[in-house]
Amino acid sequence: MTRARSIRFLQAAAGLLILAAAWEIASFFVPHFIFPPVPAIIARTVEILITGSLLADVLTTAARIFAGLIGAFLCGCILALAIGRSRAIENLLTPVLTFFQGIPALSWVVFAIIWFHGTEFRIFFIMVMTTLPAFTFQILDAFRSMSKDLLEMTLSFRPSRAILFRFLIVPTIVPGILTAFKVNLGNAARVVVVAELVGATGGVGYELLRQQQLFDMAGAMAWTLQLVLFVLIFQQIITLIETRVLRYRAVAERAI
């Protein structure tokens, strides 16, 4: 297991090094305002991390992503529970959620700016509306994947609702919930940048807009890397939680 993880890490590192090398080579032949050197991008990235006012913008964006994901997750749980319990509610809500899923993030940005005044509530609304359908459908699919035979066997012992929820429903839906967070994290990161580009006065998206106005490609890449690093770190945290919580599951390793 350790050897397999080491090989995967080395392969991933090799891919990133090749990408960085290709970028650095391009910087020799293209003006630096288009392809800045890799050391310049790294220096700007480190500057953001060690400068309090700049790091605050990164943390502001991270907080907005967390708030939007938690809000969408809670609403998605409620909707998934309602749809799972009633065929009539499913027929009523599923087309609406599918319709919402087809609305572009930029459209939600425009709607939020027209409808609401506060910047933070606008961004929260955009984050929830863009990730809510995915959370609802993924949680609902996880619930419906429950084994019918296992459910009937559990019900034969006449458990209370609390015991049924704790020992059957939760272990069934937790893998789907963790997967939903990993999938929606990337979507949320992209959406929050769009929201901040248009309707915010702080955050990674706002700083990217400033770099575009200054025509500063190194700064734009540095701020982009802040968001990428946040997504990678949080996905790794989810993976660790998944490994810990779902350690009872057998894992099939791919042959190398």
Residue 2 predicted with pLDDT over 70: no
User: Span 152-161, mean pLDDT?
Assistant: 75
Percent of the chain with pLDDT over 70: 93
Tell me the pLDDT band of 1, cut-offs 50, 70 and 90.
Answer: low
Per-residue pLDDT, 15: 80
User: Span 225-236, mean pLDDT?
Assistant: 88
192-201 b/e (C-beta count within 10 Å ≥ 16 → b)? bbbbbbbbbe
Domain range 36-245, CATH architecture: Orthogonal Bundle (1.10)
Q: Which of 51-55, 60-64, 75-79, 247-251 has the lowest mean pLDDT?
A: 247-251
Q: Say which residue, 131 or 254, is predicted with more confidence.
A: 131
Q: Say which residue, 251 or 207, is predicted with more confidence.
A: 207
Per-residue pLDDT, 244: 79
Tell me the pLDDT band of 255, cut-offs 50, 70 and 90.
Answer: very low
172-186 b/e (C-beta count within 10 Å ≥ 16 → b)? bbeebbbebbeebbe
Tell me the pLDDT band of 252, cut-offs 50, 70 and 90.
Answer: very low
Average pLDDT, the chain: 84
Residue ranges of domains in the chain: 1-30, 36-245
In the chain, DSSP finds a helix count (H) and a strand count (E) of 11, 0
User: Span 181-199, mean pLDDT?
Assistant: 84
Per-residue pLDDT, 97: 92
Distance of CA 225 to the CA centre of its chain: 15
Tell me the pLDDT band of 143, cut-offs 50, 70 and 90.
Answer: confident
Cα gap 94→82, rounded to integer Å:
11
Residue 26 predicted with pLDDT over 60: yes
Report yes or no on whether pTM surpasses 0.75: yes
Q: How far is CA 254 from CA 236, 243, 251, in A?
A: 20, 17, 10
Tell me the pLDDT band of 250, cut-offs 50, 70 and 90.
Answer: low
Most confident of the ranges 123-127, 158-162, 173-177: 123-127
For residue 161 the two structure tokens come to 């609702």
Q: DSSP secondary structure string, 201-228?
A: SSSHHHHHHHHHHHT-HHHHHHHHHHHH
Distance of CA 17 to the CA centre of its chain: 25
Q: Say which residue, 208 or 10, is predicted with more confidence.
A: 208
User: Span 245-254, mean pLDDT?
Assistant: 58
